[in-house]
Amino acid sequence: MTHRSTELTTFVTEAGWEGARRVNLAGDASNRRYERLNHTNGAKAVLMDAPTHTNTSVQPFVEIARHLTGLGLSAPKILHQDTDRGLLLIEDLGDELFARKIIRSPDLEACLYTSATDVLLTLQSFPPPRKLPKMDTRTLATMTEPAFTWYMGGVGLLSEPAQSRFVESFQTVLEQHLSAPDVLVLRDYHAENLLWLPDRQGVAKVGLLDFQDALVGHRAYDLVSMLQDARRDVSQTVEAEIKAYFVAQSGADPEKFDVSYHLIGAQRNLRILGIFARLCLQEGKTHYVDLIPRVYGLVMRNLAHPILQDVARILHDELPAPTSDILQSLKDKCATHPTP
């Protein structure tokens, strides 16, 4: 038995779950591992294994989870914790991910997304926790750099002058048109991190996962994350409908919010484009390359907004489309890494 497996067994025993059957669950883009624990008394829980040498602290997850549950939202309750060793035992919210539910019942897509939008409206009606970092315009602009360093760099097309020119130009546009960050942003708010909990009431019907990287940001950020999903196609009809619902319910100015939505959309999808390339090149997770064409398409769709015409010129000249040759080149370069 390895040292880590001994720590896991000790932790589970200390939590009162000795003898529970443990089953691996699908992970995410991070180095965290998850197991479902089935207690001899029929109870279930989820074990989060986030070794400190390969992960950031799990303490932010604990703090954000408690903030969310305090607002009446369905984040997992913390059942037991050892933050020094990166171990949490959390409430099991089940397997009814939005992504799976929509495949089985596509007619429910708008209904589910409306419920998830109500969660955002509730979340944004309360002040964010104190001392969280803020996604200001400088941070948002520099967060696009993986598109250059990993996506373009991964295929040998990195242009550092273009990168600098874009980041500077993009920051200027953000400063001119984006309001100051003022709400809690969960960041990975999409169909594979949202669970349907029909036995609960109101906004508690939506289960929340993967929010440990939460920051203070713009009100459009999580809506963009959900409606411009890197992992599944959201129909543009549903996107427009849910976006209009958010604007109406929040009282936002439609034209100003539309600008913010496309600015955040360009920013977020550029970052994801680079992160997916990095996950392949650095960690051998080749399946993320297959998602790149969708993300690139979202980048281009956001860049078509008139407010982005100047920065769009830079990317149209420099950012290569994900042709089959580009995608294969990325996969060839990560072939030496084991794919989990």
Angle at 44 between CA 42 and CA 46, to 5 degrees: 160
275: amino acid identity, one letter: I
Query: Other C-beta atoms within 10 Å of 231: how many?
Result: 14
- pLDDT per position as a tens digit, 114-123: 999 999 999 9
Beta bridge partners of 208: 194
Question: Quick check: 169 and 142 in contact, CB under 8 A?
Answer: no
Separation CA 135–CA 174 (nearest Å):
11
pLDDT surpasses 50 at 339: no
Question: Quick check: 86 and 50 in contact, CB under 8 A?
Answer: yes
Separation CA 193–CA 195 (nearest Å):
7
* More confident: 225 or 50: 225
pLDDT surpasses 60 at 297: yes
Q: Which long-range contacts (CB under 8 A, 24 or more apart) does 41-46 make?
A: 44/92, 45/17, 45/20, 45/79, 45/89, 45/90, 45/91, 45/92, 46/76, 46/89, 46/90, 46/91, 46/92
Separation CA 90–CA 225 (nearest Å):
24
pLDDT surpasses 70 at 175: yes
- pLDDT per position as a tens digit, 150-171: 999 999 999 999 999 999 999 9
Q: What is the mean pLDDT of residues 212-224?
A: 96
Question: Quick check: 85 and 7 in contact, CB under 8 A?
Answer: yes
**Centroid of chain to Cα 8:** 27
- pLDDT per position as a tens digit, 206-216: 999 999 999 99
Q: What is the mean pLDDT of residues 187-191?
A: 96
pLDDT surpasses 90 at 4: no
Q: What is the mean pLDDT of residues 182-200?
A: 97
Q: How far is CA 221 from CA 178, 185, 249, 303, in A?
A: 11, 7, 16, 16
- Residues near 201 by Cβ (< 8 Å), separated by ≥ 6? none
- Residues near 138 by Cβ (< 8 Å), separated by ≥ 6? 171
Q: How far is CA 169 from CA 134, 144, 216, in A?
A: 20, 12, 23
44-49 sheet: strands from edge to edge: 21-25, 33-38, 44-49, 87-91, 78-82
Separation CA 96–CA 325 (nearest Å):
37
- pLDDT per position as a tens digit, 54-96: 777 899 999 999 999 999 999 999 999 999 999 999 999 999 9
Share of the chain above pLDDT 70, in %: 96
Q: What is the mean pLDDT of residues 222-239?
A: 96
Residue 334 — pLDDT band, cuts 50, 70, 90?
confident
